[in-house]
């Protein structure tokens, strides 16, 4: 383009009068009078009386519609024109002035035609915009907290705006167009759940904002070294050190997440740390740091059983840094100890036998574990950057290392979900390429801290990292398909370090806290559940249909059993009911659910009725099918 000045002009048409709440159209024409072509032609449109800007459509280029409209047309040749139509809704009576200003990349010899102002006489009563909700402070409260004041931030608020808790209006005070204050009564903070917070503006106009969750979380006083969830008993299990004061130490204790009640502590051995649970809920394996061993606990009768010493081929007995049970085989368990290598054990009621291994180094084989399938095992070098991700091919009597790959942002714990490996460092890895191709990063979640991933609900959750002087903990949610933010919640008045974020139930998260290096905090298990974890659908859910059960019958007394329900119109949040009682349900896809039926349901012959419920909005119950316990 030449540096010769170019004369850019703007003209407009607008009605002389309009009324509040009426869609009002403004048209603008931008022309390059010349004498030369020009680039970067723009139009900036401002308004008085703060109307609602509905849309801005340009003949070419693009427009950003907001309180101020900016359009970028690109280049205009001499004599060329561009047009834009802007639709607004006036919200208050008076003289509404619209001012359009144009510009370009070149000097303009006639600036007098670069700007145009039109006045529109607006009549009618005040018209309310739809409110916008962007933030809550606080966004959580400990179960049983006293009445609190909730600050609600957003836009388009007025003196009649109302803050709602699960659809019910709260006492609300108007602060400004961007802030409201609401009172949350003590009685609302007695229910362990997540409330849906919205803002309503009354007619004329008005409407309801989008939703943000407010979490009422539970804190259970308990010193713990690890926590896991069992879908069959629907309880968490914690490994309790010898120094615990809440229950007998050196034990495993259950926690009912819905009530916070602790079960009877079961002695397991000296200084229990990491745990791994079989996918049928039968056995819990626990690392015993005080005896360089792993011990097995039968969860169906809470009886401690086989104990075996973890041994390195080079350095002898060691304490495993992680333990993980093979999918589909409750008697096969992997252990790892970083410099002490990795082992795979076949466990019986009398002992454990290590499988033959073929490893690259026999040492430094990772410090955390994840199974992808009964034939695919992974380990990661926790705490190293870049870390080394190890792959192992597992056979019935042996296993062999496939490769070891350095990967950025793949630090800490790894979780296999939806065919991918998610890490505490935020790195997401596709581990599937066949050798000699190696695993590779497919994305990065911008977070770092203990993670819990559940691709069945399209979520990856991250705790913030430990640091000095914290008095709250942040849990961030991410879309596990696109790796973008999906919201967050602060849990206030929590000090000390936090570890081991896990999923429980259909809509629960849990983690443990401990006293930090500076003596802050204490041992607790923190529990969150509700709409922050599993957001409600923006559209009404359908009514589900079920067609088959597999298995359709079992023989009593039966063991813990996964039942596959086939049907239609299932959604994340679908729950299966056994004779009217909810059971742990995993969403596979719109036609398949997996349901954990505990051994306690299969003790005596019965014709059990199973149905599926889809949650609100919409939703409802399917018809029932019978599972026969013979």
Q: What is the CATH number of the domain that holds 590?
A: 2.60.40.10
Can you give 7-36 as a three-state secondary structure string? EEEEEEECCCEEECCCCEEEEEEEEEEECC
Residues 286, 292: Cα–Cα separation, whole Å? 11
Backbone CA torsion sign across 151, 155, 158, 162: negative
- Pull the structure tokens for residue 628: 């026969």
Residues 502, 523: Cα–Cα separation, whole Å? 16
Residues 575, 371: Cα–Cα separation, whole Å? 26
Determine how many CB atoms are found less than 10 A away from the CB of residue 25.
14
Question: Which residue, among 24, 169, 46, 166, has the nearest Cα to 101 in the 3D structure?
Answer: 46
Whether 333 maps to a domain, the answer reads: no
Question: Do 139 and 117 lie in a common domain?
Answer: no
Question: Do 208 and 117 lie in a common domain?
Answer: no
Question: Do 553 and 622 lie in a common domain?
Answer: yes
Per DSSP, what are the bridge partners of residue 12?
28
**Residue that terminates a domain, selected from 217, 241, 260:** 217
Whether 540 maps to a domain, the answer reads: no
Whether 109 maps to a domain, the answer reads: yes
pLDDT at 1 (0 to 100): 41
Question: Do 51 and 112 lie in a common domain?
Answer: yes
Whether 341 maps to a domain, the answer reads: no
Question: Do 81 and 159 lie in a common domain?
Answer: no
pLDDT along the chain (630 residues), means of 10: 79 96 96 94 96 94 94 96 96 96 93 96 94 95 97 95 97 97 97 96 94 96 98 98 97 98 98 98 98 97 97 87 97 91 95 92 84 97 76 96 91 95 95 95 94 97 91 95 95 94 97 94 96 93 98 96 98 97 97 97 97 96 97
Determine how many CB atoms are found less than 10 A away from the CB of residue 358.
12
- Pull the structure tokens for residue 102: 């144009």
Residues 173, 279: Cα–Cα separation, whole Å? 51
pLDDT at 312 (0 to 100): 84
Question: Which residue, among 261, 243, 265, 241, has the nearest Cα to 253 in the 3D structure?
Answer: 265
Question: Do 109 and 136 lie in a common domain?
Answer: no
Tokens 């299932």 — which residue?
570
Asked if 153 contacts 135 with a C-beta cutoff of 8 angstroms, the reply is yes
Q: What is the dihedral of CA 152, 156, 158, 160, to 10 degrees?
A: -80
Range of the structural domain that residue 188 is part of: 132-217
Whether 549 maps to a domain, the answer reads: yes
Residues 104, 41: Cα–Cα separation, whole Å? 4
Q: Rounded to 5 degrees, what angle do the CA atoms 461, 465, 470 make?
A: 115
Whether 599 maps to a domain, the answer reads: yes
Domain count across the chain:
3
**Residue that terminates a domain, selected from 217, 244, 269:** 217
Question: Do 139 and 33 lie in a common domain?
Answer: no
Asked if 265 contacts 252 with a C-beta cutoff of 8 angstroms, the reply is yes
Burial class (CB in 10 A: 0-12, 13-18, 19+), 245: exposed
Question: Which residue, among 218, 217, 213, 132, has the nearest Cα to 166 in the 3D structure?
Answer: 213
Record the pTM. Answer: 0.88
pLDDT at 411 (0 to 100): 87
Q: Rounded to 5 degrees, what angle do the CA atoms 116, 119, 121 make?
A: 165
Residue 42 belongs to domain with CATH number = 2.60.40.1530
* DSSP result, 579-613: TTEEE-EEEEETTEEEEEE-GGGGSS-EEEEEEEE
Whether 53 maps to a domain, the answer reads: yes
pLDDT at 251 (0 to 100): 98
Asked if 290 contacts 270 with a C-beta cutoff of 8 angstroms, the reply is yes
**Residue that terminates a domain, selected from 193, 217, 241:** 217
pLDDT at 2 (0 to 100): 47
Question: Do 196 and 142 lie in a common domain?
Answer: yes
Question: Which residue, among 339, 346, 384, has the nearest Cα to 363 in the 3D structure?
Answer: 339
Asked if 413 contacts 451 with a C-beta cutoff of 8 angstroms, the reply is yes
DSSP-based helix, strand, coil % in the chain, nearest 5: 5, 55, 40
Whether 25 maps to a domain, the answer reads: yes
Residues 427, 181: Cα–Cα separation, whole Å? 39
DSSP state of 419: T
Burial class (CB in 10 A: 0-12, 13-18, 19+), 66: exposed
Asked if 463 contacts 511 with a C-beta cutoff of 8 angstroms, the reply is yes
Residues 194, 360: Cα–Cα separation, whole Å? 48
Question: Do 577 and 603 lie in a common domain?
Answer: yes
Backbone CA torsion sign across 166, 168, 173, 178: positive
pLDDT at 168 (0 to 100): 97
Catalogue the E-assigned strands of 222-289. Answer: 226-230, 235-240, 251-255, 266-267, 272-277, 283-288
Pairing of strands 38-47, 322-325: unpaired
Question: Which residue, among 417, 457, 454, has the nearest Cα to 572 in the 3D structure?
Answer: 457
- Pull the structure tokens for residue 630: 């013979």
Per DSSP, what are the bridge partners of residue 84?
28, 58
């Amino acid at each position: 383009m030449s540096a010769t000045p170019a004369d850019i002009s703007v003209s407009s048409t607008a009605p002389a009068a309009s009324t509040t709440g009426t869609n009002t159209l403004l048209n603008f024409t931008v022309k390059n009078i010349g004498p030369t072509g020009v680039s970067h032609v723009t139009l900036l449109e401002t308004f008085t009386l703060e109307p609602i800007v509905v849309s801005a459509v340009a003949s070419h280029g693009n427009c950003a519609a907001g309180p101020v409209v900016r359009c970028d047309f690109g280049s205009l040749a001499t004599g060329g024109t561009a047009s834009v139509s802007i639709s607004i809704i006036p919200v208050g009576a008076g003289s509404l002035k619209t001012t359009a200003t144009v510009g370009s990349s070149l000097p303009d010899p006639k600036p007098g035609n670069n700007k145009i102002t039109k006045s529109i006489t607006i009549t009618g009563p005040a018209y309310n915009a739809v409110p916008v909700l962007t933030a809550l402070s606080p966004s959580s409260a400990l179960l049983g907290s006293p009445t609190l004041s909730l600050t609600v931030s957003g836009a388009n608020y007025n003196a009649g705006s109302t803050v709602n808790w699960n659809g019910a209006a709260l006492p609300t005070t108007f602060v400004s167009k961007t802030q409201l204050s609401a009172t949350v009564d003590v009685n609302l903070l007695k229910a362990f759940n997540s409330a849906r917070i919205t803002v309503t503006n009354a007619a004329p106009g008005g409407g309801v904002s989008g939703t943000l969750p407010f979490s009422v979380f539970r804190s259970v006083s308990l010193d713990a070294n690890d926590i896991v969830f069992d879908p069959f008993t629907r309880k968490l299990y914690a490994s309790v050190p010898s120094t615990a004061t809440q229950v007998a130490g050196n034990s495993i204790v259950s926690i009912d997440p819905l009530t916070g009640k602790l079960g009877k502590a079961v002695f397991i051995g000296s200084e229990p740390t990491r745990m791994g649970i079989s996918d049928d809920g039968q056995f819990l394996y626990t690392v015993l740091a005080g005896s360089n061993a792993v011990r097995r606990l039968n969860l169906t009768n809470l009886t401690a059983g086989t104990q075996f010493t973890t041994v390195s081929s080079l350095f002898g007995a060691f304490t495993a840094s992680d333990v993980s049970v093979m999918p589909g085989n409750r008697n096969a368990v992997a252990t790892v100890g970083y410099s002490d290598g990795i082992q795979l054990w076949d466990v019986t009621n009398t002992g454990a036998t290590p499988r033959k291994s073929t490893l690259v180094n026999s040492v430094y084989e990772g410090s955390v574990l994840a199974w992808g399938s009964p034939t695919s095992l992974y380990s990661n070098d926790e705490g190293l950057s870049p870390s080394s991700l190890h792959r192992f091919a597992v056979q019935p009597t042996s296993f062999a290392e496939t490769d070891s790959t350095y990967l950025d942002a793949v630090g800490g714990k790894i979780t296999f979900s939806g065919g991918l490996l998610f890490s505490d460092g935020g790195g997401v890895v596709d581990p599937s390429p066949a050798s000699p191709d190696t695993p590779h990063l497919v994305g990065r979640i911008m977070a770092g801290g203990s993670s819990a991933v559940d691709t069945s609900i399209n979520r990856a959750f991250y705790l913030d990292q430990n640091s000095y002087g914290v008095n709250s903990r942040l849990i961030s949610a991410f879309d596990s398909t696109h790796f973008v933010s999906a919201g967050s919640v602060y849990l206030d008045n929590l000090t000390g370090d936090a570890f081991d974020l896990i999923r429980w139930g259909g809509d629960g998260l849990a983690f443990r806290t401990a006293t930090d290096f500076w003596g802050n905090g204490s041992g607790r298990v923190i529990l969150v559940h509700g709409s922050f974890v599993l957001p409600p659908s923006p559209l009404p859910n359908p009514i589900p249909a079920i067609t088959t059960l597999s298995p359709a019958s079992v023989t009593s007394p039966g063991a813990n059993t996964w039942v596959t329900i086939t049907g239609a119109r299932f959604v994340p949040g679908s729950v299966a009911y056994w004779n009217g009682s909810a059971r742990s349900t995993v969403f596979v896809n719109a036609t398949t659910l997996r349901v954990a039926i505990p051994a306690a349901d299969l003790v005596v012959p019965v014709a059990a009725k199973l149905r599926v419920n889809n949650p609100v909005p919409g939703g409802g119950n399917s018809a029932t099918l019978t599972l026969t316990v013979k």
